[in-house]
Structure 1
């Protein structure tokens, strides 16, 4: 009789363990499914809408991911579950990258804005590389540079004129190289005319901007 009760007790304990284990596994599967479904839902949200609520979206994501990873040990097929988690995580990183690209405006400093205006968008960067200027386009480059400077001379600061002088000298240096690479006499003559008018204007306006800055500093 005692032996029967003992076996019955062991059976109840084993059943309890099995029930507990099944419950934990069910919770684990739910946690992983919840994580995967959440990433699926985020993918379907328009970028503009997601951007407005990104902090909340990401906070929920971090919670779902933590729960899913914490429950892996309770799954029989934890390898397959981990693969699902990794796949969803990779998809979410793609979404996050899109959010960062949308959220981060391109900031162009004043010097680069000036270079873009005088030479064209992105033609000249911090490296001051003029290799793209050749015998075929140098006349046009001088025209754009000088006419733009003339048209905007009243709006330039002393720092702007310093930068213009620096770029003008760099362009002249490039011209010395281009002359040896087949610059036509006609283009050379036209460039000389542009430079003849621009050089004194550069000097006067640069000095004027500097004097104005000193006057304002004293006041």
Structure 2
């Protein structure tokens, strides 16, 4: 009788342990699935929405990851779950790297556009820099604003800035060739020539100086 009682207790204990272990596995599976699904969901969100909610995305990611890891570590025979957890984590890391790189590119592109626009009173300059909005009636004013802005801020520009300025300057000159055929007055043409003479030495001196400073910094 005593033997039977002990056997019954052992069976109950075993059943309890199995049930407990299964419960842990189910919980671990649930949290690993939740983590994996979360990674899948954020990886398809638009860059604009990602930027607006990035801190919250990172917070939830960390929370779900830690919960899933904790449950997996306390579960026996968790090889499959660990593999799924690592796969989801790797996917998020790759997604995060791409997002941050893309965000940095957007910031640089926005900064470049803002820099360009300062030379034209806020007028947006497309990547093609066609200056289609420049005509015989406003081209003198455009040149004057461009040259005045460059000279007034000459000490603040880097070598890369001067390279960008040169690119815009050459594109504006290209537009001037077209505008001349559309009836640019001789008077405005002469005034533009005077502005160009004023700009040339400033560009040469300041660009050379910025390049020299850049090389000196690189040697440090």
Structure 1 residue 88 displacement after superposition: 1.4
Distance (whole Å) between structure 2 residues aligned to residue 203 and residue 3 of structure 1: 106
TM-score by length of 1: 0.50
Q: Is 1:153 paired with 2:178?
A: no
Which structure 1 segments of 5+ residues have no match? 118-147, 168-196, 207-219
Bigger Rg, structure 1 or 2 = 1
SS in structure 1 of the partner of residue 45 of structure 2: coil
Distance (whole Å) between structure 2 residues aligned to residue 204 and residue 38 of structure 1: 58
Report matched runs for 1:12-161 at 5 Å: 12-100=12-100, 101-102=102-103, 105-106=107-108, 152-157=146-151, 160=154
Aligned CA-pair RMSD: 4.4
Structure 1 residue 90 displacement after superposition: 2.1
Which structure 2 segments of 5+ residues have no match? 121-141, 163-193, 204-220
Structure 1 residue 149 displacement after superposition: 8.0
Structure 1 residue 35 displacement after superposition: 0.9
Q: In 2 relative to 1, CA 162–59 (structure 1 residues): closer, same or farther, beyond 3 Å?
A: closer
Equivalenced residue count is 148
SS in structure 1 of the partner of residue 81 of structure 2: helix
Q: In 2 relative to 1, CA 65–158 (structure 1 residues): closer, same or farther, beyond 3 Å?
A: same
Answer yes or no: is the 8 Å Cα contact 2:151–2:199 preserved in 1: no
1:125 aligned partner: none
Answer yes or no: is the 8 Å Cα contact 1:153–1:205 preserved in 2: no
Answer yes or no: is the 8 Å Cα contact 2:36–2:85 preserved in 1: yes
Distance (whole Å) between structure 2 residues aligned to residue 162 and residue 63 of structure 1: 45
